[in-house]
A and B are shown apart, each in its own frame.
Chain A
Amino acid sequence: GENVEQHPSTLSVQEGDSAVIKCTYSDSASNYFPWYKQELGKGPQLIIDIRSNVGEKKDQRIAVTLNKTAKHFSLHITETQPEDSAVYFCAASPPGTDKLIFGTGTRLQVFP
């Protein structure tokens, strides 16, 4: 079955710097890759997603890139702010299902 690995597990950046989180997946037929942000004591919130027919997607300071050949996708946050501090999860959807397989999460800390 599908397996998703996520790195790094923790990431500390200075306010205004960029942050990059990477995920790799095992099933080359997976076709949907969402990213979630989880704040303390809350449920994950979808922040951006990408489908396999697209290589890159941007939404203001957030972007996601997908490399299908290498089977990895990345979240890029530019001009980080303290309110970006949270745990971020990537996920992949195995083909023909509506299930999601999650990575183990990245704790991002943005220092003022």
Chain B
Amino acid sequence: DGGITQSPKYLFRKEGQNVTLSCEQNLNHDAMYWYRQDPGQGLRLIYYSQIVNDFQKGDIAEGYSVSREKKESFPLTVTSAQKNPTAFYLCASSIGTTDQPQHFGDGTRLSIL
């Protein structure tokens, strides 16, 4: 079955610690995206990548970093500079052209200890 896999499902971070969220897709999609979801709010774009070895900042990139070394993988690191990291993080992928849907994983919930 083709799809997007996010891991882990739950993650806890201590103060001052960096954590990395995994996102893998086997849909052969060129574009991948990271969103943050907070209660009562829509999805806000953190970073996106349209091709391997290239990525762009979204609307709320501060305190986050990404890499895109392989087409299938787009890990997100939440750094200690992100002061309010508690949220639900969603990864998505798409063919990468206009007018095409994005397909989502089932998310990672990050909490602060």
Contact = CB atoms under 8 A, between A and B. Distances in A.
Interface string B79-109: 0000000000010101011111111111100
Contact of A32 (B99, B103, B105): B99
A89 interface: yes
Contact of A102 (B43, B96, B105): B43
A93 interface: yes
Interface in A84-112: 89, 93, 95-100, 102-105
B42 interface: yes
Interface in B19-56: 31, 40-45, 48, 50
A103 B90 contact: no
Contacts of B101: 34, 46, 49
A99 B42 contact: no
A51 B102 contact: no
B28 to A, nearest CB: 16
A96 B98 contact: yes
Nearest to A97: B98
Interface range on chain A: under 10, 10 to 19, 20 to 34, or 35 or more?
20 to 34
Residue of B45, B50, B104 ringed by the most chain A CB atoms within 10 A: B104
Nearest to A89: B42
A43 B106 contact: yes
B107 A43 contact: yes
Contacts of A98: 31, 50, 94, 96-98, 100
B96 A104 contact: no
Contacts of B42: 4, 6, 89, 102-105
Interface of B: 4, 6, 31, 40-45, 48, 50, 58, 90, 92, 94, 96-107
Interface of A: 4, 6, 9, 31-32, 34, 36, 41-46, 49, 51, 89, 93, 95-100, 102-105
Give the 8 A-B residue pairs with the shortest CB-CB distance, closest first: A43-B104, A102-B42, A32-B99, A102-B43, A104-B42, A43-B106, A46-B101, A44-B104
